[in-house]
Structure 1
Amino acid sequence: MSDVDRAIAQIADIRAQLAVSTRFSGYAPAAVGGIGVLSVLITLLQLGLPGRFAANDRQFIIIWGLLLASGFLLIGFEAVVRTLRDNDDMARHMLLSATRIVVPSFLVSAVVPVAILEYSPEAAWIVPGIWQMVMALVAFAAFPSMPRKIVWPGLWFLLCGMAGIFLAGHIGGLTPLLVGGPFIVGHFAIAWVLSDRETFPRA
């Protein structure tokens, strides 16, 4: 390898490291906050009309799963659009770095509930807790490119996920507040974090 090739490779490595340790601005606070608003509406519907929107654990999983999947697609689409609009190679590196964290987590969050509903529907009460803990892991993994305060929503989702699994197991099923409460607070907290213009940590 020539000196020029070696220098080019080193520059590429530096750019990749900067993409990981620099704030990724593709996430839109408004999109995340919108998911929080929809979470409020769904929780109110399940509280007011439990026979129609909260009849059983399977219905909980389907309704909230569709909301979270739609939210993921909306936020992902917004991130791609904002990145392409910037027309910056660094932004593209940062989008790729974020994708490596988010996409595997999304696949886990999708495959696990589908398998549970298909083969062991009586264990559906465990799914919201798994979703919340996965969201916590994403928040912690994204810390280098997010505001420092992202640890608080991450900690919230982690604690709610663990507590929710035990509470749902203890009472024998899911309730609107047990499922909706953590998502409402967590999404609004993430939207607040993303709107904060504080200094970002470096890896």
Structure 2
Amino acid sequence: MSEVEQAIAQIADIRAQLAASTRFRGYAPEAVGVVGLLSLMITVMQVVWPDRYAANDQQYVLIWGLLMAAGCLLIAGEAILRTYRTSDRMAHPMLISAMRTVIPATVMAAVIPAAVLVYAPQAAWIVPGFWQMQISLVAFASYSMMPRKIIWPGAWFLFSGGAGLFLAGAHGGLTPLVAGAPFVIGHFAIAWALRERKERGHG
């Protein structure tokens, strides 16, 4: 490898390290807030009309899975658009660095519940807790790139996911509050963390 190629490779490594340690500004608090509002709406629907929207654990997983998928598309789409609109040269490397954390977790959050629904539907009650702990994992893994207060939503999802697993197991299945309330609180908390950064002029 020539000296020029080595220099280019070193510059690329430095940019990747900077991207991994710089706060990512692509996530919009508005998009996360919308997911929180949708979570609240679904939770209320499941409380008011349980026979229609909370008939069994599999229905919980399907409904919340659709919301999770829609939320991921909304947040990711907004992040990509915000990144390509900015003139910051670090925006694209930061987006790539963020996706390296988010994409594997998203794949796991889709594949494992799908396998549960197909081969072990009686265990569907574990899925919402699993999703919440996955969100916590992403929040903690992204700590160096996100506002410091992201640790609080991350801790909330870790606690609520673990507690939800035990509550659902003890209850013999999911309830609207066990399945939905953690998503409502957690998404609003993430939006709050992102909004604080934006108000301080960093987003």
TM-score range, shorter chain: over 0.9
Q: How many correspondences in the alignment?
A: 200
Q: Unaligned stretches of 5+ in structure 1? A: none
1:120-174 residue CA offsets vs partner (Å, 9 max, x unmatched) = 1000000001000000000000001001111110010001111110110000000
1:194 counterpart letter in structure 2: L
1:21 corresponding residue in structure 2: 21
Which deviates the most, 162-171 or 88-97?
A: 88-97
1:47 corresponding residue in structure 2: 47
SS in 1 for 2:38: helix
C-alpha distance in 1, partners of 2:120/2:2?
58
C-alpha distance in 1, partners of 2:10/2:195?
34
The structural deviation recorded for 1:57 is 0.4
Which deviates the most, 170-179 or 78-87?
A: 78-87
Structure 1 segments (4+ residues) deviating >3 Å: none
1:131 corresponding residue in structure 2: 131
**1:147/1:199 contact within 8 Å kept:** no
Q: Unaligned stretches of 5+ in structure 2? A: none
C-alpha distance in 1, partners of 2:62/2:135?
18
C-alpha distance in 1, partners of 2:12/2:115?
41
TM-score of the pair, normalised by structure 2:
0.95
RMSD over equivalenced CA pairs, Å: 1.4
C-alpha distance in 2, partners of 1:187/1:119?
30
C-alpha distance in 1, partners of 2:192/2:115?
34
TM-score of the pair, normalised by structure 1:
0.95
Alpha carbons of 1:199 and 1:151: their partners in 2 closer, same or farther (altered >3 Å)? farther
SS in 1 for 2:55: coil
